[in-house]
Every structure is written in C-alpha cells, then in structure tokens.
C-alpha cells in the first residue's frame, strides 16, 4: 500500500499540494502548501482582486477566473476554505456568502475536495489563540513557513489563506506503513 496522508475527509499521496482560500468580494487570498513527511512547506501565495466599480456578477466572475489561474498553476489535491464570520451586518454576510459560493463552485468544477474551517479554528491552528488578530496570524505564518514578512509581498489576505491551508495540513497525518 502506498504512503498516504490522511485527513478526516481525504487520503492524499505524499507531497500533495493544499490550496487555502480566504474568501472576500474585493480581495480573496490564496495560499499553497506542500504536505511532506517533515510538515507543511510554503509553495506560493497571493490575492485575487476585483474591481469595485464592476457589477457584482462580474466581480464573482473575476474571483472565479483568478482562482482558476491559481488552480492551473498549482495542481492541488485538496482545498481548505474559511467559513464566513457572521457579524451584525446581514447584507455583508449575504454578499460574502455569494462570493464564497462562487469560489466553492469553481473548486468543485476543478475536482478539488473542499474542507471548511471556522475563523477561530484557523487562528488557533496558526497562533494557538482563536481570538488572534490578523497581524498575529501573519507574523506566525511567516515564522512557521519561513516566508518574508513584507506585507506588500504577502498581504494579510494571503497569509490568512496560508493559515487556512496550514490548519488543514495540521489535521492530516502521514501513514508510514510500507516504508
């Protein structure tokens, strides 16, 4: 039996790529990690930006198209997506839900199994504190994954996406039988 990396939902071959997605309507962060026997390794990260002046359906298409470019560049085995945080503004939650839905559809159309994590789970995985602020998450992700801390190169949306991918990676384990 070949080595596999196991999560509650997926069995992955070693060296699988995990795509983390931090949904947003103006900016969606993405991050890619490689899961190895020595842990998660940074592969790439960035953001997909939409044009605020464009009609909403065009912005959803921009998000989908940008995510497709990432999927085509990095052949990921699975994706991890952050669940929405529901504040007091119902309209904002609905709009974010529509953007998240477009992103989930894009991932499904490209055959990626998707696991969702709450913001609290992601922060706990990255920082050890479910109430951490974005800057703490960015700092810890840079330290854990040994990436530059320049926020121009890695905006917080991208480091959030890396934290989401790391959260999923931490839930996987490597089955070393047969080595």
Looking only at the bridges linking them, the beta strands covering 4-6 and 11-12 are antiparallel
Relative orientation angle of helices 56-73 and 90-109, to the nearest 10 degrees: 40
**Which among 69, 88, 157, 160 is annotated as catalytic?**
157
What is the C-alpha R_g of the chain? 16
CA distance 129 to 114: 24
Contact present, 86 and 27 (Cβ < 8 Å) = no
**Which among 15, 22, 83, 150 is annotated as catalytic?**
22
The answer to whether residue 157 is catalytic is yes
The answer to whether residue 22 is catalytic is yes
**Which among 82, 135, 160, 175 is annotated as catalytic?**
82
Active site residues: 22, 82, 157
């Amino acid at each position: 039996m070949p080595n596999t990396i196991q999560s509650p939902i997926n069995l992955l071959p070693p060296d699988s790529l995990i795509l983390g997605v931090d949904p947003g309507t103006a900016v969606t962060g993405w991050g890619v990690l490689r899961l190895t026997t020595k842990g998660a390794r940074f592969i790439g990260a960035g953001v997909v930006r939409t044009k605020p002046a464009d009609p909403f359906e065009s912005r959803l298409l921009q998000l989908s198209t940008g995510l497709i470019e990432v999927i085509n560049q990095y052949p990921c085995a699975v994706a991890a997506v952050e669940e929405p945080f529901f504040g007091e503004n119902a309209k904002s939650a609905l709009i974010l839900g529509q953007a998240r839905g477009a992103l989930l559809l894009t991932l499904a159309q490209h055959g990626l199994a998707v696991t969702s994590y709450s913001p609290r789970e992601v922060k706990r995985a990255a920082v050890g504190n479910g109430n951490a602020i974005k800057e703490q998450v960015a700092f810890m992700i840079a330290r854990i994954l040994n990436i530059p801390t320049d926020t121009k190169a890695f905006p917080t949306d991208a480091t959030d996406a890396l934290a989401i991918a790391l959260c999923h990676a931490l839930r996987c384990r490597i089955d070393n039988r047969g080595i």
